[in-house]
Amino acid sequence: MIGIHKRFGAVHANADVHLTVRAGTVHGIVGENGAGKSTLMSVLYGFYSSDSGSIRVDGQPAEIRNSHEAIARGIGMVHQHFMLVDTLTALENVMLGAEPHVLLHKAEAQVRSKLNELMTSTGLRVDLDALVADLTVGDRQRLEILKTLYRGARILILDEPTAVLTPQETEQLFGVLDLLRGQGTTILLITHKLKEVMRLCDFVTVMRGGRVVQDVAIGDTSIEALAEAMVGRKVQMGRQGDASKAPGAVLMQASGIVVRDALQVVRLQDVGLQLRAGEIVGVAGVSGNGQSELLEVLSGLLAPSGGSLEVGGQTFRPGAWMDPRRARTLGVAHVPEDRHERAMVMSFEAWESAVLGYEWLGVYCRQGWMNHPKMQGATVDMMERFDVRPRNAHLMSASFSGGNQQKLVLARELGQSPGVLLVGQPTRGVDIGAIEFIYSQLRAMRDAGCAVLVVSSELDEILALADRVIVMNQGRIAGELPIQECTEARLGMLMIGGAAP
């Protein structure tokens, strides 16, 4: 890609970008949210047309005006938010728009045969007859890669491929990518996770402010150097301060919590915990071991079938559980794990998402009438305090990058000075500069006397933030340790159901 320029109004998303990628390598593209990474890859895949510049593939000029032309050139892209139809099978999703025969049964047979060959050669195993809605996140990721390979991709663009994967699924994906590289596939990896860049990539390009600021072989750089190049200054990501200060009063207590799903499968079994003022409690565990259900119970989104909850001087039991609005009146704020599904409405303007759930407060509403100018003014203030970019309260929520969406949700929830703050996956899909900022905000809430619960699939994050760590396995609390006694080895052993060494 040579001299690529792309503007969106006043925003110069790509400014004279030069990118050279060698065949059969894994090439990382890193940068803060809004640095221009996804825009550049969208130009390569034909989603956007550049304002100027050119592209050469295999040394030959390539005009790529849409994704069909990109696919014809052997370029495929797997997006951060999967482009799959939940109500179709895995096989039907691969076929969709690329049916090789007018007779459906013949088309299915041809596609199935080719996919079986691909699964054998790549190790990407998926149940082709399963509905996408029934597939795990890891299976959906593998299906997306299979779909691009089926359509002839030799150059594979992956946008934040591990953002929603468990550590085990991430390792499986890396094994597949290693194999594909060995078979000659060229892989472009957009990611915020610098450990993954150092583990997997051969070369890395760093973007900042729409420009390339560094292009280097992986052996000639380090995590610290990449972080500094991304942000433009040294970044403090590790643990800060100590956990010697004793926590205060118990602000929330759950006892004997039991949750069964629609099929009566037990998701939480006899779970109890205390959240104290001035303390960050981290919840570690492999995804799917009850952490999500715990957050939903504590925030009022899910009523358990057994147990009790004490908060704000009130006790709640099954049949009379608090709802999310009641939780907010009791000073409980919640940053959900999935910001798209639970925290924002993507088709709302930013100011609407920024007051969502608090629109009934007196500052925003009088006798049932909402004051839109006050809401919009408050959103501008939130954007200023939390460095949400761009500072446009009328921009659609979907138009912000993942990191800026997350900062807007945090600004909304922290802005009410809650007594209890429940946070799920605080930095999922967020760049390193925003991670540093989010960590500082969570620590500030703790230091102001808030009880903070952080659920994260990233052990590094738990170790950097928590004063006390709870580990969950198969819906139970497998162990609880003060941070001084925590190591990755001890927590990892508890996460898989073993005893802490």
pLDDT tens figures, 371-381: 999 999 999 99
What is the model's pLDDT at position 237? 63
What does residue 338 show for φ and ψ, rounded to 5 degrees?
-110, 100
What is the model's pLDDT at position 139? 87
pLDDT tens figures, 247-280: 999 999 999 999 998 889 999 999 999 999 999 9
Cβ atoms within 10 Å, residue 443: 16
Under the banding of pLDDT at 50, 70 and 90, the label for residue 483 is: very high
Distance of CA 411 to the CA centre of its chain: 18
What domains are defined for the chain? 2-231 (3.40.50.300), 243-331+419-501 (3.40.50.300), 339-417 (no CATH)
Under the banding of pLDDT at 50, 70 and 90, the label for residue 124 is: confident
Q: CA 446, CA 458: separation in Å to the nearest integer? A: 20
Whose tokens are 């065949």? That residue is 23
Q: CA 300, CA 294: separation in Å to the nearest integer? A: 10
Least confident of 29-43, 61-75, 305-319, 371-385: 29-43
Beta strands in 290-434 (DSSP E): 306-311, 314-316, 332-335, 365-366, 369-370, 420-424
Burial degree of 320 (CB within 10 A; 0-12, 13-18, 19+): exposed
Q: CA 54, CA 63: separation in Å to the nearest integer? A: 8
* Token output for 443: 């620590």
What is the model's pLDDT at position 241? 60
**132 DSSP 8-state letter:** G
In whole numbers, what is the pLDDT of the chain averaged over residues? 91
What is the model's pLDDT at position 268? 97
* Token output for 462: 């738990």
What is the model's pLDDT at position 411? 96
What is the model's pLDDT at position 309? 98
Distance of CA 400 to the CA centre of its chain: 14
Burial degree of 493 (CB within 10 A; 0-12, 13-18, 19+): middle
More confident residue, 309 or 461: 309
Q: Are 78 and 145 in contact (CB under 8 A)?
A: yes
- Which of 87-91, 349-353, 398-402 is modeled with the greatest confidence? 349-353
Q: Are 218 and 197 in contact (CB under 8 A)?
A: yes
What is the model's pLDDT at position 192? 79
What is the model's pLDDT at position 13? 92
Own/partner contacts of 88-93, CB < 8 Å, gap of 24 or more, are: 88/131, 88/132, 89/128, 89/129, 89/130, 89/131, 89/132, 90/126, 90/127, 90/128, 90/129, 90/130, 90/132, 90/135, 90/139, 90/143, 91/115, 91/128, 91/129, 93/132, 93/143, 93/147
What is the model's pLDDT at position 498? 67
Under the banding of pLDDT at 50, 70 and 90, the label for residue 162 is: confident
pLDDT tens figures, 410-452: 999 999 999 999 999 998 877 787 888 899 999 999 999 999 9
Under the banding of pLDDT at 50, 70 and 90, the label for residue 499 is: low
HSE (CB half, 13 Å, CA atoms) of 347?
0
Find the helix or strand (DSSP H, E) in which 119 lies: helix 104-122
Decide if pLDDT at 287 tops 80.
Answer: no
What is the model's pLDDT at position 82? 78
Q: Does 390 sit behind a cis peptide bond, omega within 30 degrees of 0 on the bond before it?
A: yes
Under the banding of pLDDT at 50, 70 and 90, the label for residue 232 is: confident
More confident residue, 311 or 492: 311
Distance of CA 232 to the CA centre of its chain: 23
What is the model's pLDDT at position 243? 52
Q: CA 225, CA 230: separation in Å to the nearest integer? A: 9
What is the model's pLDDT at position 242? 55
Predicted model pTM: 0.74
User: 42: which residues sit within 8 A by CB, 6+ positions away?
Assistant: 48
- Which of 8-12, 90-94, 147-151, 293-297 is modeled with the greatest confidence? 293-297
Average pLDDT value for residue range 341-363: 94
Q: Are 465 and 442 in contact (CB under 8 A)?
A: yes
